[in-house]
Structure 1
Amino acid sequence: MVTTSTSVRSKSCLGPPSDMSPCGNWKVSIVTSDLPNAGTSSQIYIILYGQHRSSAPIYLYGTDRAPFQDGHEDIFTITVGDIGTLFKIRIGHTNSGLSPSWCCKEIQLWNMNSGKQFYIPVQRWMARDQEDGEICREFPILNKGQPILPVTVYEVHVATGELWNSGTVANVYISIYGEKGDTGSRQLFRSKNSFNFLRGQTDTFFLEAVHLGDLYKIIVGHDGLGPGNGWFLDDIVIRDPTTNREYAFFCHRWLDQEEDDGKIVRELYARDNSIIFARQKLEHNRKETWAAESWKFMKGNTLQFYNRLTGGFVRLHPDGTIDATGEKMDKYGFFDVIVSKGNICIFQSHEIRHLSLALDNGCVTGMASGRASTELRVVYQPNRCALLESVLVPGHTVIFDRHGKIASESAAGYADLSKEFVVFVKGMFLNNAVILLATSLCQALCLQPDGSCTGVGNQSEKSYWRVHKISSGICMFESVKNARMYLRIKDGQCDGTGTGDIDCHFKIKKNLENASVSLESTKSPGLFVGLQADGQAKPVIYTKNGNVFFYPRVIKCWHRVALLHNKMGMPSVSGALKRNR
């Protein structure tokens, strides 16, 4: 059965209706399959792509009855403007109505200006519950029965960031652009994972389109629907199986109306050299990590360097020898930062004041402070571990074998060597110290106005906590912004409405592997302050998946300020406070 033809004019044709010379007039015949339930209640649209440009989406409306029913042919007359030589079409629908699924059998197009005809066999479903779930399809024009361009199934790898609450439940859409057009806006909804866009997860999607040639940009965004719809997108990598090329699109930003610049759509440009992209990403992550960890290397801090391979701390012995087998409280394992110029430091032994860590002719040793060999550059890795590199001879690093003995990179297999160190600062939980409990490189545990606590707070004064030391290894944490409100675990809840009683007492568990701490309730042993995926605090059992890890950062330590004032011959801050009372 054939329907009455309908005339439809594309918005992209800017000339007056009577001026048909610059505008392309087309007759379009669409046959719906005669398979059961092949017809649709949805609104069908078509887009024509030519060598000059593409048309706007043209919605195809019926006149005397509902179009696109089982086994029917619908004919339309459309005006699209001068698009140049046709090379592909996109046809789809809006997934609306009671039965939106649609199976198209074939499409024919007649250029009413040139007389050229094009036949496109389709026989594909456009339905969320059929085939790959897509509700639009692209088809290349045939030349002597062969497609002029291949149809490609792009692999789209979407990496959600590691920040707390970085996942989203919103509907995510992407448009891919290449030298031969674009894919149009496509929803990314069916990946290999059970749930899409979770924190720290990479989802893989498959997107079918007529081959786009070299890719140069994408537009990615979401619809802002659902609770916690904000999204932190790390990057997107698209693999073109036709050419076996990969295109990387770096984002590392929020798509969130409440974060960053408030945008939920971003335009990203391709970096098609995977090696360069990997280096740029590594450098970016190193800079972020250094920004979060650089406070440790302030002049006056006392540090320990823990080696995960040896399971011990770096020690400088009185005879100048060095190893990495020290115990936690070994007196030879503490180092004072006596020089700090950016990331260049001198680490002097806290016990043997005339010796500092040094790299002399590639050998790790103890030398007199101030010599060029004692200047070490701190290079942070994304895993929060630091390398100690010679300033005098770049590339030479402090390195140990698995037995804790000094080594060179050529001395053994790579797996038997380690040059990464977890850095600890001595005295972070002194009484009355003001600290941040960082939950990521740029987030911190924060007290909310309603008394709840979240791990997605900014690293600002709102997230400052004052330490109240109860006994060795046991502390309370009082909000600096909201005095007399304490972090607590009580009645299955973790919040900041404590009053300073035993519900607010926490045992500090130090995690050697990453320099974090975990806070265990002394009233309910085995329960720790933890974070849910959305960043909300809750009591949890200790695990190593990261939700109980907090990275303390000292903002102000009265003990250190007092020492500094005393060394300068000034009254201590604590004394001044007493006199002002």
Structure 2
Amino acid sequence: FLIEKFLFFNRKDEFTIECPNVGELNKILIAHNNKGSAPGWFLDQILIEDVIAHHLYEFPCNRWLAKDEDDKEIARFLFPKKSTDHERQPVRNNQYKITVFTGKKTGAGTDADVFITLYGNLAETGPIKLESKKNSFESGKKDEFTIECPNVGELNKILIAHNNKGSASGWFLDQILIEDVNWHHLYEFPCNRWLAKDEDDKEIARFLFPKKTVTNSQYKIKSHFDITSSVFESFSVIFETQINANPHVRC
């Protein structure tokens, strides 16, 4: 992500960028293009606030990015400062809205208890029973549930299962939609198979994987600069995370 701005000696500058969500930040690359009459730059630190996830990262630097100072480098990887135990924020609960679509086949509905487990890049839940006051999981029907649990990060799979109880336990599941209410992200998990002891492969539990989607997140970047004179400078920030197949995400 290229940022263009006048940078001045001993001041703080703020930028807001919008780009695909990169998950939990584990490093950034900060660089400039060495243009201008005085391109040398002494960077104190960078703060990045993930506006959607309400998470603040601190990236200390305290070094030159200059061809004539320090190690002559104009690009540096920065790593987030580790929080001490007393600085750590309490675990935030997340809300997930789960919409279950039962198929329209004959006998598709189930009387069994249905459980879901969420797996994300940060954590996973245990089995959560999907409960409702009305008769759920009827043939051709849509059922909605809202659950609250610790944030699991970006969902990469779910486990959907039932306990095979009741007189008509076999279930044909069309698909499940999960909305991460806090992150404003919607996941679609296709199934289109039976969970039944007497149908298909006789399994009553299935792992489902999301269709690929891209959701934008907003990041607020605060940087502290020390530069020899006011110059028109360009610099770039590259986020790297643990959750993407291609870990380098350019915003």
Higher RCO structure, 1 or 2 (CA under 8 Å, sep 6+): 2
Structure with a larger share of its residues in strand = 2
Structure with a larger share of its residues in helix = 1
Q: TM-score, normalization: structure 1?
A: 0.22
Between structure 1 and structure 2, the one with the greater Rg is: 1
Q: TM-score, normalization: structure 2?
A: 0.49
